Amino acid sequence: MSYSIAIDGPAGAGKSTIAKRIAKELSFIYVDTGAMYRAMALHFIKKGIDPSDGEKIAAECARADISIEYRNGEQVVLLDGEDVTDRLRTEEAGKMASATSVYPQVRRKLVELQRKLAASANVVMDGRDIGTCVLPGAQLKIYLTASAHTRAERRYAELRAKGEHISLEKIEQDIMDRDARDMNREYAPLRQAEDAVLIDSSDLTIEEVVEKILELAGK
Ligand code: DC
């Protein structure tokens, strides 16, 4: 049977950086589920769909062809056969992903893909509902969080490094809005699974969090 590590938590807690590191250490596959919601969001953006139009979202989501490949150990996301990996990490795609991930049709389609990946290999999977919904039987569940202010500061530094300038206040407000949406939606809201270990990364280095998780995995 394959071994699964589920890492859930709010935007900017460091999930993807940490999940990637753990996957590398353990020679597991890293599955970034947020990237799938973002690819679906790109499809809706391309089609000019209003995220509040549930009927159109349901119809278009059935048409979107999203698949995952691994190239040199890196996850590559294909939308209708085209590699869109480099276009997923924008504020626009993130907002659209958060707004459209509330729809059960979108979730069902992507959860099926996520479960298939986990059944076929040992995975470190990160997202919002992995421990609670996608992989309730995961051998190790982590809920990784950090204060909204810390997360905003990290995002601010990331954007500055890329030459984008958005005020820290605006980023923090966006993060709080996104948390509220992800935590309060009806289907599969972001919350800590009962059997998940809570790690607050506000005052921890990436290295410290990685070590803690490897220790919990008994590796
Ligand atoms: O982790 P991320 O920022 O790439 O995720 C983008 C959005 O996708 C997030 O705001 C909510 C949604 N998402 C989700 O609903 N369930 C997941 N397992 C992963 C992401």
Mean pLDDT of the chain: 95
- Residue 91 pLDDT grade (very low, low, confident, very high; cuts 50, 70, 90): confident
Amino acid 200: pLDDT: 97
Q: Which residues contact 104 (CB under 8 A, 6 or more apart)?
A: 187
What spacing in Å lies between the alpha carbon of 31 and ligand 1's midpoint?
Answer: 12
- Residue 81 pLDDT grade (very low, low, confident, very high; cuts 50, 70, 90): very high
Amino acid 75: pLDDT: 93
Give, for ligand 1, the residue of 37, 43, 113 to mutate: max count of ligand atoms closer than 8 Å to Cβ. 37
- pTM (global) more than 0.85: yes
Q: Atom 12 of ligand 1 has which residue's CA nearest to it?
A: 98
80 near 93, Cβ under 8 Å?
no
Rounded average pLDDT over 28-56: 97
